[in-house]
A and B are shown apart, each in its own frame.
Chain A
Amino acid sequence: MNLKTFRGGIHPPENKEWTRSMPIERIPTPKSVVIHLTQAIGAQNQPLVKVGDRVVKGQMIGDVQACPAATVHASITGIVKKIEPAPQSNLKDGMAVFIEADGTDETAYMPPLDAFVCSREEAIKRLRDAGVVGMGGASFPTDVKLAPPADKPIDTIIANGSECEPYLNIDYRTMIESPADVVEGLAIAAHIVGATRAVVAIEANKADAVPVIEHEFQQHAHGMHMETVLVATKYPEGGEKMLMKAVTGREVPSKGLPFDIGVICQNVGTLKAIKEAFADGKPLIERGFTVSGGACKTPKNLYAPIGTVIADLIPDVIQMSDDVRKVIFGGPMMGITVPSLQTPVAKGTSGILFFTAAESKQFEERQCIRCGRCADACPAQLMPMLINAALLSDDLNRADAIGLVDCFECGACSYVCPARIPLTQRFKLGKDLLRNQRAKEARHGK
């Protein structure tokens, strides 16, 4: 079979079988949640509530008059206990609203809105009011993504069902369990941007989701304009730029954005959230994620309110083994380790992995032997070994010239490196250094 794909990439162990067949469980409403005011790329939100206020599930509690920014909402009904900084899965430890449940089940959702009848502006406003962000991990505000500049027409929208990160199954389960929501969300998103082609892209290891989704196409008024595309099982197939290349053959230009090539990509979970924002008036206040890893005794897929603190799930929902050493929010390739179990689930949390000491082994970094595996693996078709050499000799200009900023930090080079060089990690640091240097040059040069 000739599967669509991109050049480069790696085949790490998938470790998906632990949670692949586990239906997504809804956790009992937690007694308290910690909701960070700013959970998306963009401006810092201001709280709309005060300590002591009673908030209702679905009520907006954080906003800022800026673009891009994504609103946040109370995910349970209860009393605001405090508003202060709290551990955050992106390690920014920003301001958070602590809500204690009062035991009632009241909700304050918006009225339903027909995306196919309302104006484009109304639709975009609905997405903003619902606080929908990309749920694949990047947390980019969806209302911004679906409102590209007028001179950048969009012809294709891709539902990202690739889920190439090992361990994670939440996108797969979402497609299997809520295909109608995914297809409706895709139809809405396609309608908003005026795309004529709507594609659900699924990795070959999840091929059984294809008939499920295609069956839903038949039920849907716009389904005849939709198609599924089976892409190769390879990391990082689900990376936005890689998936666009695989499905459309187009490359997002360096330093450009997807709308430059007329394509928009949305995670299947985001599409479900889009559907709920319109059909149910429900803001993004809960999400699904996979719980797994060698130190997790209860691998499963969960739905939990945004702000659910992991420590509160232990041991009733999740049990860890004693040798847990690392807790990762996200997948093993791009996820972020958190220092504390007091970290809450965020809008971008696709998985929570518990790794044992053996899985967290650190290796001695050796000198690069220039074997070239990183270059073979790099989906950006960079030469990581040369960028590494430039960074090691503090030559930021050289690193920049050979594509440092074109690295999208997928981690493939670090994964394959036989010398155990933390390439991705070094490139992230290098980008920061380069940004600082450029800023300094701009200050002194003019």
Chain B
Amino acid sequence: MENNTMKLMMSGAPHFVTSYNIQKTMGMVIIALLPALAGGVYFFGPRALLVTAASVVSAVAAEFLFRKALRRETHVTDLSAVVTGVLLALILPVSSPLWMAAVGSAFAIVVAKELFGGLGGNFANPALVGRAVLLMSWPAFMTRWSPSLHTAAVDATTTATPLGILKLGGTITDVMKSVGASGKSALYLQMFLGNRAGCIGETSGLLLLLGAAFLVVMRVIDLRTPIAMVAATFAASWLFGGDPVFSVLAGGILLGAFFMATDYVTTPVTPIGKWAFGIGAGLMTVLIRQLGNFPEGVTYGILLMNVVVPYLDKIIPRKFGFVKPRKVNA
């Protein structure tokens, strides 16, 4: 019969695969970032969207053109460039020139990611590399902060971030004044809601945690690293005599812990490695804040830990069958 001529396909087991793929993973990260982006628009105005658009378009275009130029397969549909673009925008001031956002994300994609082999090959978080480069290249633009549109206390067009105020010698009371809070708990609340000066997407702990909760429910991220990073920040700043709650809510700790320190490619895969990465990143951040010249240290804290990931990945957990031999009762 005709079966003898039929060509059957040969392949190694398994012959079954989940429908879950990289695109869906990245799609979920994008969804999880939307609350923070919406918060950015609410607190700093529609220009936040423009900065994000510039960053995303540049990231996607940079990846597409770079791979085309190298005659390699393009993978922009996996949405990883979009994630990098959004993440970078969320850690820029709303007043950033659009060209600067575009340059930053193109640098992030080409230098931090594609030159290392593309998604999966990079050792450092591309968005953070982009931000670090912009901070070194155009420090004035990168430290020009707008107050939240919903802060009644001040009518200035530029202000300082809570961490910036402290770095310049201000006190918590000055920070309270900057966000129009009357007491410490009111300050915490305003900071948790996101009603303060800062990068587009970093200010609202509430909205960031909302997105992170989605990623946890969808089993996209592991909570070990963020918990370790937040706890380390809390503990270290308390040891330095600072206000631990303020330290966690200020700057980019929550955005960094839940969306940067959970980046698959540039953080450890081993369980102990994840704890160590989080603790290290939190510690570095506080050290930079307390002892360095910069008011904020999340970017460098995480980037520094990115470098030691290969070592943290050597801490392999116990494998099945590696138990002490059972006593055999004869």
Contact = CB atoms under 8 A, between A and B. Distances in A.
A121 B200 CA distance: 79
A382 B8 contact: no
Contacts of A385: 269
A370 B269 contact: yes
Contacts of B265: 369-370
Contacts of A311: 1, 3-4
Most A-side CB within 10 Å, residue of B8, B121, B325: B8
A326 B18 CA distance: 18
Contact of A362 (B11, B14, B321, B323): B11
A424 B12 contact: yes
A335 B15 contact: yes
A254 B323 CA distance: 9
B319 A382 contact: yes
Interface string B110-127: 000000011111000000
A104 to B, nearest CB: 28
A241 interface: yes
The A interface, classified by DSSP as helix, strand, loop or mixed, is: loop
B20 A411 contact: no
Contact of A336 (B13, B22, B73, B118): B13
Interface string B298-330: 000000000000000100111111110110101
**For this complex, into which size category does the number of interface residues on chain B fall?**
35 or more
A407 to B, nearest CB: 10
A12 B11 CA distance: 19
B24 interface: yes
Most B-side CB within 10 Å, residue of A152, A245, A418: A418
A340 to B, nearest CB: 7
A215 interface: no
Most A-side CB within 10 Å, residue of B9, B10, B319, B320: B320
A166 B17 CA distance: 12
A262 interface: yes
A262 B24 CA distance: 45
A105 interface: no
A43 interface: no
Contacts of B24: 418
B22 A326 contact: no
B319 A428 contact: no
Interface stretch (A109-117, A373-381, A432-440): A373-381
B264 A371 contact: yes
B264 A403 contact: no
Interface in A329-370: 330, 332-342, 353, 355, 359-360, 362-364, 366-370
Given A254-B319, A383-B317, A418-B20, 18 more contacts: A241-B320, A252-B321, A253-B323, A261-B326, A311-B1, A324-B8, A325-B8, A340-B8, A341-B6, A355-B15, A366-B22, A370-B265, A373-B20, A386-B313, A402-B316, A403-B319, A406-B321, A425-B12
29 contacts: A252-B321, A253-B323, A256-B321, A262-B326, A262-B328, A311-B3, A326-B9, A327-B8, A330-B13, A332-B15, A333-B13, A336-B13, A339-B10, A355-B15, A360-B9, A366-B22, A366-B119, A370-B264, A371-B264, A380-B319, A380-B321, A383-B269, A406-B320, A406-B321, A414-B14, A415-B14, A418-B20, A418-B21, A420-B21
Interface of B: 1, 3-4, 6, 8-18, 20-22, 24-25, 73, 75, 78, 117-121, 222, 264-265, 267, 269-270, 313, 316-323, 325-326, 328, 330
Closest 9 CB pairs of A and B: A367-B120, A411-B14, A425-B12, A254-B321, A332-B16, A380-B320, A333-B14, A370-B264, A332-B15
Interface of A: 7, 10, 12, 152-153, 166, 241, 245, 250-256, 260-262, 311, 314, 324-328, 330, 332-342, 353, 355, 359-360, 362-364, 366-373, 375, 379-383, 385-386, 402-403, 406, 409, 411, 414-420, 422, 424-425, 428
